[in-house]
Each structure stands twice: as structure tokens, then as C-alpha cells.
Amino acid sequence: MSSLSRGIEAVLFSGRMLLVPIYLAMLALLAMLVVYFVSELIHAVPSLPGMTEKDLIILTISLIDLSLTANLVMLVILSGYENFVRRVSFKENDTRPAWLVRINFSGLKLRLLATITVIAAVHLLGSFLEINNQKDRDLLWQVVIVLVFAVLGLLLALTDRLTGQEHDQTSHEMN
């Protein structure tokens, strides 16, 4: 292998460090989600005595939606960094999350799609709780979107399973 090829490969491999500012910016996004979550909660506390059960459920769904979104951002930050930049080092007394060890790029795609589907479903539930304020057409589109995400998730999982079985069979045949 020529030194030019090795140099090009070294530059290309080092290019993964260009992802670091993106992950840092996503950490800022996570902080913004936390601030927004807390401000929504603080804003809701004074009106709690006058809230109806429906209003409280809608607030809860909204906060759960923000929580799921924050989890999604954290998942992308840690697993993206681990998969594409470098392995995350932990202190001896820190416990490495089990999901971080097991998640690969395929698993990341599945978790992202599953989380997005759940977020869309939570949003749809909130819309159904305010059904009098919703247009039928908007509700229909929300249902369609949730179903499309769910079907896409199932198809992606099936494809990954079939691809994994083919890879396992090929590896087994080579041994």
C-alpha cells in the first residue's frame, strides 16, 4: 500500500472528528429541552388547583413528549459518538449503560424510529383528548403518520433480522 493511500485513509478516518461539534450542539439542544420542560412545569404549577382532569392529562402528555424527545437526543448523542467517533470511556465507579454496549448502527436506527413512533402516538393521544379543537383531516393525517412510522419500524426490524440471519449463515459457512 502506498504512503499516499495511507495518508488519504488517515485523513478520511480523522474526518470522523468533524462529528464532534454536531454532538456538542445536540447537547445544547438537550439543555434547551430541559429548560423548556422545567419552564412548562413551573408555569403549570400555579394553575394546578383550577385544572380539570383533561387539562392535567394533556399537560402530562406534553411533558412525556418532551421527555421522550430528550431521551431521543441523548440516545443519538451517546450512541452516535460511540459508533462513529470513538468508544466512550467511563470512570471506574461509573456504570456503562447496558444499551450503549449493545447498540450498533442498525439498533440505533430501530430505536430512533421506535422513539419517533411513540412520540407521534403520544402527540396523537393529546389530539384525541382535545378532539373538539381538531379537524377530522388533521386527526386522520396524524393517525396515518403513526401507522406509517410503525410499519416502517416493523419493516426495518424484519430487514435487519433477515440480514443478520444471512450474515450469521455466511459466517457459519466460512468457518
pTM of the model: 0.72
Task: For 32-62, write each residue's pLDDT tens digit.
Answer: 999 999 999 999 999 999 999 888 988 998 8
Task: Give 9-37 as a DSSP string.
Answer: HHHHHHGGGGGHHHHHHHHHHHHHHHHHH
Nine cell digits for residue 171: 459466517
> Closest Cα partner for 160 from 172, 152, 150, 171?
152
Task: For 84-119, write each residue's pLDDT tens digit.
Answer: 888 877 777 677 676 666 677 777 788 888 888 888
Q: How far is residue 61's CA from residue 59's CA, in Å, rounded to a whole number?
A: 5
Q: What is the predicted pLDDT for the residue at 31?
A: 97
Q: How far is residue 18's CA from residue 112's CA, in Å, rounded to a whole number?
A: 22
Of 173 and 121, more confident: 121
